[in-house]
A and B are shown apart, each in its own frame.
Chain A
Amino acid sequence: MHGFEPKIILFLCNWCSYEGADAAGRGGKEFPSRNLREIRVMCSGRVDPRFVLEAFRIGADGVLILGCAPGDCHYKTGNIEALKRIPLLERILQQNGIKNDRIRFDFVSAGDGEKFARVTGEMVKLLKRLGPFDHA
């Protein structure tokens, strides 16, 4: 897929991962900002599975949800609640014809600009290989 630039809906938790994204920027890390459409949420646990389905319906090629590392959640376990939904969500997506590589959940701490850059970079690389997702 020559010249294809995937669109990723990126859900960032307010307390850690959003800061992690900031840290990546401040630290001058290279990450694929033009592929990211970030949405700040108060907690990764706030990301209703409906948001993910909706993201694919309106044309996202991938969805990335980033939350605090285990034990660091501002609301104690919101990140774990988010993690618990992922395997079921993957299977629902698969049954709807969407590959699991198009969704990813990961932990990114406030200072971890490096991980933010790595995870977003990996996702873009993977999606470029997969090509665009066309729901319509």
Chain B
Amino acid sequence: MPDKPKIALYWCSSCGGCEESVIDLSEGLLELAERADIVFWPVALDSRLKDLEALDDGEIDLSLINGAIRLREQARMAQLLRRKSKVIFAHGTCAHLGGIVGLGNFHTVQEILERSFRDVPTVRNLGGILPGGSVEGSERGPKLSPLIDKVMALDQVIDVDCFIPGCPPPPELVGKAVWSVLEGKLPEKGFVFGDGKALCHTCPLLESKPEIIRVKRFKRVHETDWDPGKCFLPQGIICLGPATRGGCGSRCIQANMPCRGCFGPLETMEDHGAGMLSFIASMIDADHEDEIRRITASIPDPGGLFYRYSLPHSILGGGKGTET
């Protein structure tokens, strides 16, 4: 019997949702296990680092890596998997664009560590221990891996073949991506699984989207009663569908929530936030500066909204600290 293709799955800085998107293949997972050998999947199988290291270079046919790169150890694992794999897919938004974790780039590592491990009222860190040092009283370890300066998307650390967007990606998309390799139909390099067009094109509310939209105030979903049967935008609720790649199956829209952009920017858009900013500013119903500023002030955190999933892949990348 010929060898089955070998598959590896690994997670870096992520919430675990992408691993769920694999579990949610449900019966498809059994089919996959029959058709391929899953040689490394620490979250679900008894996989050891030494087993991975023992494989020949390029012996793994496909590795799916989810999560952003936040720790030095994650960068090392990504590099190791790259060496061992013929094909690497960035699995989910964090690996694709940096994801929610990437919002950390609005702050320095020091600020994040102080906040998370010392200042938070629910934390009692008596030794003041921060990641990067060894744990007190333990000669042999364990050591916590140091953070790297900036959160990075996977392709900012290693060469990536294709991208599966989504937070998390719909299981059908994960299945489609994996089978493309098993069936020898790997798309061209850099391909992003998903639609080429904006979400609006496949949105169930598209019919009610007017040609021109003007609003006097932007509202958040808890601030207003809205008609769930109509496009969010003319109702003053920001939906990022116009600037976001479709292919998600409009999951959020169908759950009465506006799009938050997890499928990333359109192909022609270099900076997701700049694209969003353009269309949102165009909706402002004012032509004098004071009123424009007043309407704009109803968006509490434009940086967090426009770059929710893509800060590490944006033009400015979060900057390097506040100018004094």
A interface with B by C-beta (< 8 Å): 48-50, 53-54, 56-57, 70, 77, 80-81, 83-89, 91-93, 95-99, 130, 133, 135
Expressed in whole angstroms, the Cα–Cα distance for A3 and B173 within the complex equals 57
Q: Judge whether B277 and A95 touch: CB under 8 Å.
A: no
Complex partner residue of B316 from A57, A84, A87, CB under 8 angstroms: A57
**Smallest distance from the beta carbon of B307 to chain A beta carbons, Å?**
8
Known pairs A70-B287, A85-B281; A97 contacts B270 (CB<8 A) = no
Q: Classify the interface of chain A: helix, strand, loop or mixed.
A: helix
Are the CB atoms of B319 and A96 closer together than 8 Å? yes
Q: How far is the CA of A81 from the CA of B296 in the complex (A)?
A: 14
Residue in chain B with minimal CB distance to A51: B274
In the complex, are the beta carbons of B319 and A49 less than 8 A apart? Answer: no
List the B side residues contacting A54 at CB < 8 Å. 315
- Check if B296 sits within 8 Å of A88, measured CB to CB: yes
7 further A-B contacts with Cβ under 8 Å, apart from A49-B271, A56-B316, are A48-B274, A88-B299, A91-B302, A91-B303, A92-B306, A95-B319, A97-B321
Give the Cβ gap from A43 to chain B, nearest Cβ, in Å: 14
- Whole-angstrom distance from the CB of B265 to the nearest CB of chain A? 11
Q: Which B-chain residue is minimally distant from A70 (CB atoms)? A: B287
Interface residues of B (CB under 8 A from A): 106, 270-271, 273-275, 277-278, 280-282, 284, 286-287, 289, 292-293, 296-297, 299, 302-304, 306, 314-323
Shortest Cβ gap from B250 to chain A (Å): 26
CA distance A95 to B304 in the complex (A): 9
Which among A56, A77, A84 has the greatest number of chain B C-beta atoms within 10 A? A84
A-B residue pairs, 10 tightest by C-beta: A97-B319, A95-B303, A96-B319, A53-B315, A50-B274, A85-B281, A87-B296, A49-B274, A96-B316, A84-B281
Cross-chain pair count, CB within 8 angstroms: 86
Contact check, B277 vs A49: say whether CB atoms are below 8 A apart. yes
Chain A: which residue is nearest B301 at the CB level? A95
Contact of A87 among B293, B306, B315, B323 (CB under 8 A): B293
Q: Is the CB of B287 within 8 A of A80?
A: yes
Q: Which residue of B lies closest to A99 (CB)?
A: B323
- Whether A92 pairs with B320 at a CB distance below 8 angstroms is no
Task: Name the CB-closest residue of B to A52.
Answer: B274
Assembled-state Cα–Cα distance A133/B287 (Å): 31
Report how far A79 CA is from B119 CA in the complex, Å. Answer: 46
Asked, given contacts A81-B282, A95-B106, whether A88 binds B277 with beta carbons under 8 Å apart, the answer is yes
10 A/B residue pairs, CB under 8 Å, sorted by A: A49-B271, A49-B274, A50-B270, A83-B287, A85-B281, A87-B289, A91-B303, A97-B322, A98-B319, A135-B316
A120 vs B278: C-alpha distance when bound (angstroms): 26
| Chain B residues within an 8 Å CB radius of A135 | 316, 319-320
Please tell me if the beta carbons of B315 and A50 are within 8 angstroms of each other in the complex.
yes
